[in-house]
Amino acid sequence: MVKYKTSEDNVTIEIGKYLKETKLNYTLQREIQNRAISDSLMNNPSKSGGSGGGIPDAFFTITHENETWFGFIENKSGKSNMSKFDKDGFIANHKKDGNLNHQTIGKFAVNGAAYYAKNAFKDTEYKHYFVIGACGYEEYSQYMVDVDVYIITPETGGEPLKYKSFTNLSFLNPENIDATIKEVEKVHLTPEQQDILRSNSEASVDSALTDLNQKMRDDFDIDAKWRINIIVAMILAGLGDKNNRVAPLKIEQLTGSIENDNTDADIILRKIRNLLEIKSLPLAKREQIAGEIERTIKYNNEGINQISTSGETVLRTLFREIKDKILPFVENKMLDFAGTVYNKVTDWMPLADDEANDVVLTPRYVIDFMVKLARVDRNSYVWDFALGSGGFLISSMNAMLKDAKENITNPDKLRNKEKHIKEKQLLGIEKRSDVQMLAILNMFLVGDGSSNILNKDSLANFNGNYAYPNDTEKFPANVFLLNPPYSADGNGMVFVHRALSMMKPGYAAVIIQDSAGSGKATAYNTDILKESTLIASIKMPVDIFGGKSSVQTSIYVFQVGQKHNVDQIVKFIDFRDDGYKRANRRKADKSVNLRNVNNATERYEEVVKYVVYGNKPTLLDYEESKINPADGNDWNFEKHKNIDTKPTEADFRKTVADYLAWEVSQVIKDENFEVNAPKK
């Protein structure tokens, strides 16, 4: 029987030898010199859950082709202390209730290293990490060390994914490092893993928001109209700046002081104002955001700035809840965080009856799909007249930045273009001020294109101008993206009519209740076709919104600025089978599990290639037909589906087979049939 060592000392000695051979910049059980990483360690609890942070057993740095990689190593004694996983195969550092499991983090080598690296990934601008667990043990009178290596990068979604197992660190030696980096850069999440992480994150955020809402409503009597602003304020204060120009707010900084200009509300406001200032937003925009938050946490809800029965201010209680249970998900790149919050808080929003079915989040994969259909590139000027959480603008901005990076080689020109995209090429309008704050947060998180997000009624008081820095300059929109309120005139086509009439030549993609194309919006539709061309109509799955709103929708794609010709061929696509299966979870958890069951990725790509480039599909049911521009009620797939009534030989064979099967079933059912006759 193998006798395992009880001390980690031998493991540490061996790892020290291995690191010396790598010739890397490393430390052993000493304070880390990188300020950002060191601050991350100090600002998070230790592995055991105590304050004051922690120090990894070993830490190293690699610079490769202008990219900095950091490595965290944790040592343990005994094979069984290498790692612990959850039911989905990911490193398990949380309990079922979402709280950190410090017992597991402290016990297992990979889990401890992953804890440090995930915090650094979250807290700093650095996004590439080696997560290494080393376990030493005695076997056959020899001392052995097993080394398990995991990788954290944006491609892993910030989760540690397994690279390889070794018995030393020679994969980091100078002669091997190039090959190692090339290999680990290929480590990425599978679509199935992405789905699991996204669903788990949505469920965690959903649960945390449910608890938070109950506290704000039942314990602190905060009106629903203020709750989104409170969430936004806490998130902004808790984020800080990745370059350490503004440190994240710490819980202990909220002292409950009643001193003028030094209350908890004042401290939060100062943090937010400092953060907005370094983001170089226009002064008027900064004042709008800060002013809205100030009204919420300082003047209109004075009670939340006072000591409660718990012995601390309500603000501090709420900040702790958000910091522990919501902030860890804020910058999850796979999760449309603000969109998830938006979908959840619609349950608390005070809505008029006719708005009740309008507040529905467009799934991110549908948003990305529509951005491609509208041909967004680096030169697009994109607007949305019913912004919601800002998903269409975020997806557009990402597509524009990607196109710029692929086509502009001069670094200075690229930086200027990226700045111009964020500041001048995006505009969104949201009627509700609380939802506007959520959209601003969303754009802020992705870096920041929130300058021209307007709190206006796009049908009543928007004149087509920028908001900042010059509100007399026209926004030269050439792309329109929209999921409108279906209760508005023409099932929402009133928004499409207005936006397209104000645009320059370009493209538009709109997901809308498809009754708008079959008679509910004929006046708007016929008018639209006087200046724009319907180029495609895509009938979407009825459960596209995840069961919250079971409504039949279609995506209409327009070429803006060109009158629809009566001879124009329109592409009609039946996309009700898009390849995804959507299964609602239990009633208490409204997140949706999306599974690719029938070539979903390929199907979406085929639609884009067909609509944009004319490539004939092989996986889709489609028709090519004309519409009458003077009717406005023939925009949907069903109107153009060709049904061939002429029977084929295959039809005849099937009919005969069905009849014979029926005859046999009747014989079997006959009580006098010998096989079934009762025994004598």
The tens digit of pLDDT for each residue in 308-355 reads 888 899 999 999 989 888 887 876 766 777 777 777 766 666 544 445
pLDDT at 673 over 50: no
State how far the alpha carbon of 108 is from the alpha carbons of 111, 130, 135, 491, in Å: 5, 16, 9, 56
More confident residue, 409 or 450: 409
Per-residue pLDDT, averaged over 568-572, amounts to 97
Task: Tell me the per-residue pLDDT of 457-507, one tens digit each, with 9 for 90 and over.
Answer: 999 989 999 988 778 899 999 999 999 988 899 999 999 999 999 999 999
Residue with the larger pLDDT of the pair 256 and 245: 256
> In this prediction, what percent of the chain has a pLDDT beyond 70?
89
Q: Write down the H helix ranges in 484-599.
A: 493-501, 522-528
- Residue 129 reports pLDDT greater than 50: yes
Give the pLDDT band (50/70/90) at residue 423.
confident
Alpha-carbon gap, residue 225 to 296, rounded angstroms:
9
Predicted pLDDT of residue 679? 41
Lowest mean pLDDT, pick from 23-32, 186-195, 278-287, 458-467: 278-287
**CA 456 → CA 396, 438, 475, distances in Å?**
21, 15, 15
Mean pLDDT on 212-228: 89
User: Is a pLDDT exceeding 60 seen at residue 376?
Assistant: yes
Tell me which long-range contacts 170-178 makes (C-beta under 8 A, separation of at least 24): 170/18, 170/21, 172/22, 172/24, 172/60, 172/62, 172/71, 173/21, 173/22, 173/23, 174/22, 174/23, 177/62, 177/64, 178/64
- Please give the helix or strand (H or E) that residue 267 lies within, else none: helix 264-278
Tell me the pLDDT tens digit for each residue of 49-61: 877 678 999 999 9
Token couple for 125: 């601008």
Whether pLDDT at 91 is above 60: yes
Beta strand segments in 630-670, E: none
Give the mean model confidence (pLDDT) for residues 83-103. 87
Is residue 611 predicted with pLDDT exceeding 80?
yes
Q: What are the C-alpha distances in Å from 237 to residues 52, 65, 134, 244, 279?
A: 21, 34, 37, 13, 14
Q: What is the pLDDT averaged over residues 359-375? A: 88
648's CB contacts (< 8 A; 6+ apart) are none
> For position 5, what pLDDT does the model report?
46
Mean predicted lDDT score pLDDT of the chain = 86
pLDDT classification of 586: cutoffs 50, 70, 90: very low
Closest to 384 in 3D by CA, of 431, 420, 351, 343: 431
pLDDT at position 167 over 90: yes
Angle, CA 14 vertex, CA 12 and CA 19 arms, to 5°: 90
What pLDDT score does 657 carry? 77
Over residues 194-219, the mean pLDDT reads 85
Q: Could you give the CA distance from residue 122 to residue 329 in angstroms, rounded to a whole number? A: 9
- Is the pLDDT at 356 greater than 50? The verdict is no
pLDDT of 44 reads 85
Give the pLDDT of residue 2: 41
Q: What are the pLDDT digits (tens) for 596-606?
A: 889 999 999 99
- The pLDDT value recorded for residue 591 is 43
Lowest mean pLDDT among 202-206, 253-257, 318-322: 202-206
Supply the pLDDT for residue 80.
93
The model's confidence at residue 588, banded by pLDDT at 50, 70 and 90, is very low
Mean pLDDT lowest among 28-42, 119-133, 405-419, 444-458: 444-458
Between 70 and 87, the more confident residue is 70
Mean of pLDDT values over 218-240: 88
Residue 644 backbone zone (phi > 0: left; psi -120 to 50: alpha; other: beta): beta
Give the helix/strand (H/E) hosting 592. strand 592-596
Higher-confidence residue: 664 or 425? 425
Cα–Cα distance for residue pair 63/124, rounded to 1 Å: 17
* Percentage of the chain lying above the pLDDT 90 cut: 51
State how far the Cα of 9 lies from the Cα of 4, in Å rounded to an integer: 13
Residue 645 has pLDDT above 80, yes or no: no
**What per-residue confidence (pLDDT) applies to 667?**
67
Give the pLDDT confidence of 539-548 residue by residue, as tens digits.
999 988 865 5
> Is residue 674 predicted with pLDDT exceeding 50?
no
pLDDT at 64: 87
